[in-house]
Structure 1
Amino acid sequence: MPDTAPCVPTFTALLFGLSGCLVDFGARTEPDAGPTPGALQALKLLRHQGVPCAWLDELDDTLALPLAAPLPRWVKAVGVPDGNPWPAPDACWQALMHLNVSRLDGCVLVSGNPRLLQSGLNAGLWTVGLASCGPLCGLSVEQWGELEARERDLLRGKATLKLFALGVHSVIDHLEELEACLADIALRRYKGEKP
């Protein structure tokens, strides 16, 4: 019996925000804060799939590089962009150039920062917004965990609405949900949808 599974397109590259995405949002004030839940697992999966990755942040390198220390060395550091600041697309394009990416098709940006997500949209990338971390919620992973379920649902709902109003393609709570989200985007690409 022939294999009838569709040939789902692979991803060209993934870009991530640093603070509030790969690294706990509380890291802006706590230099020893670590990766967000699911960050290292998501990066490991992407590495296994051969998908190049980079992180972006507007923090000065003296702050950003120590925050990124727990991340794998193969994830490229882009840092503060040359040229126009977010939400201009320059930073995303520079990150893709650092990764030697030759096409936009299949490139995805993941972040909780609306300005960086707008930069990704302006650059023509697929975008995934994070609802429970980053500046829209403004809480560290620890603070988020201390909230009652009702408070989390309210903050998550407000952030999700703002992210979809911005125009992002998908919204998830955190990087532990990234694998399923990327599978959904891959299926959408297979059906011909463009960012």
Structure 2
Amino acid sequence: MSNFAQDQSVKLNHVQSVIFDWAGTIVDFGSFAPTTIFIAAFKAQYDFDISLAEARVPMGLGKWDHIKAVSELPAVAARWQAQFGTVISKTDIDAIYQTFMPLQIAKVGEHADPIPHALDVVNGLKQQGVKIGSCSGYPRVVMDKLIPVAAEKGYVPDCVVATDDLPAGGRPAPYMVLKNVIDMAVTDVGACIKVDDSVPGIEEGHNAGMWTVGLLLSGNEAGLTLAEYLAADEATLHQAREKARDRFTPFNAHYLIDTIADLPQVVADIDARLAAGERP
């Protein structure tokens, strides 16, 4: 057996890489940086109002696609028709996106605080030899602002892929996570875990043949601020958890956990499943 084959056979029994989303997963508890800017962009460009709940619906998509998806929500489309007497056009979406981008670039660094326990979990994985990948619905110009601020706060992944880095497009297609696999020289997608707070991110992981972990309370689906989360009683957390679970359940994530703080137990369980010969 070659040295590569021997090395590969050993690694197949263990998690090789965890690939994280950014907002709502590692940084920006509640995923507020993108959602609040979507609201501001619609308002600034066309004096058109969308709600925070509407802005959250397509979270995880690339940002141009996200704006398009919001505009196609029945309630949003009806209000647009009533206000402007026509359906929203590609030109309108382009204009909102062009307004969105400088706002997002200016504000993203303000939402770079790590989610509680994220750095401990990431550093623990690194100590085990697990490679830390990442990808985002943010385009590269936004990531170039976020990456150094996150690094100053202690988060430095081994790989970062933005939604516009690849011509084939972003989520739910698997290209961003597969780019992580290539760049980090991971030998088996079945030994990778995709962690995300959005449904398109879970679909992305499935489409790449990876284990998938959905986050119920730290991200987009619960929509809690960190202060709300820390102050919440168990009844409030249960309600938020079940709301998020209802959104994730049809998409069959392998695991659903509250926040990244719960990930080490999941990694240990997947290690045991891999050792027993299981695949995602």
Contact 2:14–2:275 (CA<8 Å) still a contact in 1?
A: no
- Consecutive unaligned residues in structure 2, runs of 5 or more: 1-11, 37-106
Equivalence for 1:5: none
For residue 108 of structure 1, give the secondary structure of its aligned residue in structure 2.
Answer: strand
Equivalence for 2:110: 32
Equivalence for 1:62: 141
Amino acid at match of 1:120: G
**Greater helix fraction, Structure 1 or Structure 2:** 2
Are 1:76 and 2:159 an aligned pair?
yes
Q: Give the counterpart of 1:100 among 181, 185, 188.
A: 185
Equivalence for 1:163: 248
Offset, 1:79: 1.5
Question: Which contiguous aligned blocks of 4+ residues in structure 1 show a shift greater than 4 angstroms?
Answer: none
Q: Which has the larger radius of gyration?
A: 2
Superposition pairs for residues 41-52 of structure 1, below 5 Å?
Answer: 41-52=120-131
Are 1:19 and 2:23 an aligned pair?
yes
Are 1:177 and 2:262 an aligned pair?
yes
Q: Deviations over 1:97-148 (max 9, x none)?
A: 1212232131111111110110110110000111102221122322322434
Amino acid at match of 1:171: L
Equivalence for 1:191: 276
Equivalence for 2:227: 142
Contact 1:12–1:105 (CA<8 Å) still a contact in 2?
A: no
Contact 1:23–1:67 (CA<8 Å) still a contact in 2?
A: no
Amino acid at match of 1:23: V
Stretch deviating more after TM superposition (139-148 or 112-121): 139-148
Q: Deviations over 1:32-85 (max 9, x none)?
A: 230111110111111111111111101123333433423433532112241132
Equivalence for 1:4: none
**Greater strand fraction, Structure 1 or Structure 2:** 1
For residue 218 of structure 2, give the secondary structure of its aligned residue in structure 1.
Answer: coil
- Consecutive unaligned residues in structure 1, runs of 5 or more: 1-7
- Provide the aligned length of Structure 1 versus Structure 2: 189
Equivalence for 2:209: 124
Amino acid at match of 1:168: A
CA distance in 1: counterparts of 2:267 and 2:228, whole angstroms:
27
Contact 1:114–1:166 (CA<8 Å) still a contact in 2?
A: yes
Contact 2:15–2:270 (CA<8 Å) still a contact in 1?
A: no
Amino acid at match of 1:190: A
Contact 1:27–1:67 (CA<8 Å) still a contact in 2?
A: no
CA distance in 2: counterparts of 1:73 and 1:130, whole angstroms:
21
TM-score by length of 2: 0.62
Are 1:114 and 2:217 an aligned pair?
no
Percent identity, aligned pairs only?
26
Amino acid at match of 1:94: K
Offset, 1:17: 0.3
Are 1:88 and 2:173 an aligned pair?
yes
For residue 36 of structure 1, give the secondary structure of its aligned residue in structure 2.
Answer: coil
